[in-house]
């Protein structure tokens, strides 16, 4: 019974963590939005590659996020 409550609370926390930052994107210009999107996509991809190759998912996320943000900000 208690583990079900903890799972629900964890799912709610995850949903809020994913949804609330999107509300902050409305006042950004296109370059800022692309940089943010690129950083998020790069971080997810870097974490996945790091985890799949046996490396550090955190290091992969940091490198991927930085690269993705840079590419997102530079694209038109």
pLDDT tens for the chain, residues 1 to 76: 567 887 788 888 878 777 766 676 678 898 988 998 899 899 999 999 998 898 888 899 999 999 999 999 998 7
Q: Give the pLDDT confidence score for residue 13 in this predicted structure.
A: 83
The pTM of the full predicted model, rounded to 2 decimals, is 0.65
| Cβ-contact 64, 44 below 8 angstroms | yes
pLDDT tens, 29-41?
989 889 988 998 9
What is the predicted pLDDT for the residue at 2?
67
Q: Name the residue ranges covered by the structural domains of the chain.
A: 2-74
């Amino acid at each position: 019974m208690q583990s079900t409550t903890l799972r629900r609370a964890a799912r709610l926390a995850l949903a809020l963590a994913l949804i609330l930052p999107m509300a902050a994107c409305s006042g950004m210009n296109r370059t800022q939005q692309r940089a943010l999107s690129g950083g998020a996509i790069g971080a997810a991809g870097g974490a996945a590659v790091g985890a799949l190759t046996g490396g550090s998912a955190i290091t992969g996320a940091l490198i991927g996020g930085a690269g993705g943000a840079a590419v997102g900000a530079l694209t038109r």
